[in-house]
A and B are shown apart, each in its own frame.
Chain A
Amino acid sequence: MIEILSYPFMQRALIAALLTGLIAPAIGTYVVQRRLSLLGDGLGHVALAGVGLALLTGAAPIPIAVVTCVAGAVVVEILRQRGKATGDVGLAILFYGGLAAGVFLSGISGVGAGGLAQYLFGSLTTVTPSDLRLIAILAIVILVTALGLAPQLYAASTDEEFARTQGLRVRLYHIAVVSLAAVTVALAMRTVGLLLVSALMVIPVAAARNLVRGFTAGLWCAIGIGVATAVGGAAASFWVDAAPGAFIVLLAIGVFILSWPISYLLRRRYAAAVLPEPVDDDELVSPHTVTENHPHRHAPGCGHPAVQHGDHTDFIHEGHRHAAHADHYDEH
């Protein structure tokens, strides 16, 4: 483990991976909340046009990709807000236009489409010191926004109409989220790669939702998973000499798969399911059946599955539902 830190390019690669692991799930939380999980994938295509442009002009690819990608994201968001992106056709044209432009521009630059491969799946050895500086600065901007504006972004991405009645400028927040997602995608082309960065924006968020309760806890948990898988995957790719993006994403999917049984166990300990509302009809008097002589005291975690039933909790006991009532249990 220590030996890989002795290579300067590896130090830069690991720091870049760490930053990607921080920002991708942080901004991804809001992207997923808005049900735009595949947005990052499309923006990766748009970023390729920026890479192609950089190859043609001989400029550094990351800054140009950032600008192209943000422009594409803002166009998509404005089209969506005006209701003109219906049917996803406009999005598809923009995204595939970006991919085609990237391949075309890299072709006429003499590098050829093969030169794009290192940007598609990440490439550790190519992170330059100036890349790293730009990644660090933009990562700070993204983190400060995603964490500092968390209450506003949460409200805007969960309940847009309510957020507007709180005087929030929801459209601006939406544009901020997609722009920062675009920056994240472009920055990640060295580490996870343009085609796989979207996975790092979505999978840690999905896994975190299985593991912890609440939006804020989910945000932090997703960032933790993102950092662990990004750094772990980047380090692993050094030994196996493969593209880091693949490792990072496979690790994240592994965490997601593990989160299922864990969430099942967690949820079984708390309330299992919600029964339908009790019928609110005065004419229907629910029968009051008292459980015969039941010495066991039900409590959360007593071993009997708990079920939310209207305003109280029932405990399932040998096929019956027991509800506490005064000093005895009722059959529900």
Chain B
Amino acid sequence: MLLDAHTTLAAHDVTVERGGLPVLRGVSLSVRAGEAVALMGGNGSGKSTLVRTLLGLLPHRRGAITLFGSPLRDFRDWSRIGYVPQRSLAPLGGSKVKEVVAAGRLARRRPFRPLSPADRDAIENSVALVGLSDRLNADIAGLSGGQQQRVLVARALAGEPDLLVLDEPTSGVDLEHQRVLAEVLAGLLAAGTGVLVVLHEVGPLASLIDRAVVLSDGRVVYDGPLGDLGQHHRGVSGHHHDHAPQGDDDHDRRKDTLLGGAIEP
């Protein structure tokens, strides 16, 4: 594992078990500052599990995870991490957009202190960055799916992170919102933020991605440039899972789907 000052996140030989069964096996992965890594793979390949393990939300059985050079267990500098979980807003319903986004400042705030002017600026700026300034006081439950996703991105950006981890930020979101997301990410990458993004399909983010890591059945089966992914993948057991009958799964049936339709029949 190559570690230097530019490495934001590194995982070496990480194994995760859930209910006694291994879901991730010997996964190694790293993200450098200013680098965008796409984490791809089929349903059940372990993408979300890996992301949540890397952030310490799930325990790992074996292996080493370091965030900004510190072992995960000793890591305290959480303001450097911005996490955009998969969109599920049931618990956030009834909150204003600015309340949700304000939670992204908590790593920088001390208990019993009101929001500082710097906190307010960061909240407003990150909401402006995702183009929702006119919705600061709206109930998040009243927004469209794409707008809700952008609120979650704004929440992660409010902490001014050096590493942004996004779990399927483009699923169920229309192309217009995906383009907004791509613009935001391009700005962050240029400023040196590391980005790890779980994607089901590359879509408008393709031009930003420096490297793709493909998981299959809990193992890394590809780690390299996005451009070579198509050829490489034809020969490897990559994206295989039982497809449900048409319309029964959550896949977009668009032509520019991940892996160019080369694998999926």
Contact = CB atoms under 8 A, between A and B. Distances in A.
B207 interface: no
Interface stretch (B49-57, B213-221, B223-231, B243-251): B49-57
A164 B139 contact: no
A325 interface: no
Contacts of A58: none
Contacts of A166: 78-79, 103-104, 106-107, 159
Given A149-B111, A166-B106, A168-B106, A159 B85 contact: yes
B112 A148 contact: yes
Interface size class of B (residues with CB under 8 A): 35 or more
Contacts of B254: 281
Contacts of B190: none
A214 B140 CA distance: 9
A184 B102 CA distance: 28
A129 interface: no
Interface in B185-228: none
B142 A308 contact: yes
Contacts of B103: 151, 154-155, 158-159, 162-163, 166
A197 B95 CA distance: 26
Given A164-B56, A310-B144, A158 B112 contact: no
Interface in A189-227: 209, 213-216, 218
A158 B99 CA distance: 11
A158 B107 contact: no
Interface in A264-296: 270-271, 274, 277-282
Interface string A125-164: 0000000000000000000000011011011001101111
A327 interface: no
B70 interface: no
Nearest to A165: B83
A110 interface: no
B247 to A, nearest CB: 14
Given A152-B111, A165-B81, A213-B139, A311 B176 contact: yes
A168 B78 CA distance: 9
Contact of B174 (A161, A164, A278): A278
Interface size class of A (residues with CB under 8 A): 35 or more
A218 B85 contact: no
Interface string B23-62: 0000000000000000000000000000010011100000
A273 to B, nearest CB: 9
A215 B96 contact: yes
A308 B139 CA distance: 12
Contacts of A214: 94-96, 99, 137, 139
Interface in B93-115: 94-96, 99, 102-104, 106-107, 109, 111-112
Nearest to B56: A164
Q: Max chain B CB contacts within 10 Å: which of A149, A161, A209?
A: A161
Contacts of A280: 173-176
A159 B84 CA distance: 11
A277 B172 contact: yes
A105 B250 CA distance: 58
Nearest to A270: B142
B227 to A, nearest CB: 23
Contacts of A279: 174
B85 A162 contact: yes
B78 A167 contact: yes
A148 B146 CA distance: 33
A161 B147 CA distance: 21
Nearest to A271: B142
A163 B91 contact: no
A161 B81 CA distance: 13
B239 interface: no
B166 to A, nearest CB: 12
Q: Max chain A CB contacts within 10 Å: which of B81, B95, B159, B175?
A: B95
A98 to B, nearest CB: 29
26 contacts: A149-B111, A151-B109, A154-B95, A154-B99, A159-B85, A159-B91, A161-B52, A161-B85, A165-B55, A165-B56, A165-B78, A165-B81, A166-B104, A166-B106, A167-B76, A167-B107, A168-B106, A213-B137, A214-B94, A215-B95, A274-B142, A274-B143, A277-B144, A282-B175, A309-B144, A311-B147
Given A164-B57, A167-B79, A277-B172, 10 more contacts: A151-B109, A152-B111, A158-B103, A214-B95, A274-B142, A274-B143, A277-B145, A278-B174, A310-B146, A311-B144
